[in-house]
Chain A
């Protein structure tokens, strides 16, 4: 009876307030060895597939990477010019320039969490400076945010979870919207866009930075389907996430620049049309 009461009180407190984060983070130290052991086979297979490859395929991969690097560095040249131009224009507008964000690479642990939720565990925690609500991206786009942080590991809520919502804008025209997870790992939904909104199939969706949780300008996804039903007040817009939500092994923890200096955030708001 006592245990039932304690459970119910715990659940209520955990749901409504954040007092129990310290308890959770302390208990996660006990759990970490379990997750570590479970991750070992995946680590070994990863190591094996990396070390047992033929000379030929290594050469091939080397060639491919070289080409990719050439391509990226040529793009970077263009980017640098644009960045200087951007900085100059911003100086004209007397607003401070936003520095690039600090990032750290983290690895996913091959651990299954509760079914029907889109959560993963990563091997970075408070020790590495991770914090609650920290944005997580992979090479292609935004992946999610940290919801529980422990000393050695943290739990990440992915953007495809049905309880996750992300402020975004359409890259082409700056139209703002909210991208909500659907529970399927290959689709998001844009909420509250009117039927006459200027949206097209193939539009790139980027994070808007509103809400000060996610940094602005990271790709989120591409519009794949628009259903206009005159009977409905809003259009049904489906987005395919850019991040490889179910495939990435390495992810990046982002320390948004605005997090350290909140005043720059307001400047960027002022620039919005």
Chain B
């Protein structure tokens, strides 16, 4: 094993890959608006846990890939995810101390900001979403956060990602 400062980069890449897969996975029509913002959640976790490795740059790149995958305007998701990463990194020490419930609320809030930025871009483009379910990813992300957090934390400890 190579001794280096960083460890387990593959795990991080894999986690983002799985998030992308979950984002592209086909869901029935009624459920597709309720899909959690998987990439934003993974980014939130790694920014909080490893702020010295995963930051605004990674968030921006993942956003750009997401834009290409979903066929949105290049930079729409990138802007939202970069800003999300910025806020999380800025206060990562505080967030780590939060109980799970409070973290979940913060995730909800962050995803709302991310959705709001996307909404602005869509509004400027002239293709606003028609239904209030546009905001639902924030709610589902919040509900899933505690389990999601525990799973990612266990993975991080098991494979000693630091």
- A residues near B (Cβ < 8 Å) are 3-4, 6-11, 14-15, 20, 23-24, 27-28, 30-31, 34-35, 37-38, 42, 110-117, 119, 147-148, 155, 162-163, 183
Contact = CB atoms under 8 A, between A and B. Distances in A.
Given A10-B74, A24-B74, A115 B33 contact: yes
Contact of A147 (B25, B71, B78): B71
B interface residue count range (under 10 / 10 to 19 / 20 to 34 / 35 or more): 35 or more
B25 A114 contact: no
Contacts of B57: 3
B73 interface: yes
Contacts, number: 101
Interface of B: 17, 20-21, 23-27, 32-33, 35, 56-57, 60, 63-65, 68-76, 78-79, 82-83, 121, 125-127, 129-131, 134
B68 A28 contact: yes
A1 to B, nearest CB: 9
B70 A23 contact: no
24 contacts: A3-B57, A3-B78, A3-B82, A7-B60, A7-B63, A7-B75, A7-B76, A7-B78, A7-B82, A10-B74, A10-B78, A11-B75, A14-B75, A15-B73, A20-B74, A23-B74, A24-B74, A31-B69, A34-B17, A34-B21, A37-B21, A112-B23, A112-B32, A114-B71
Contact of A38 (B24, B32, B78): B24
Q: Which label, helix, strand, loop or mixed, suits the secondary structure of the B interface?
A: helix
A74 B64 CA distance: 53
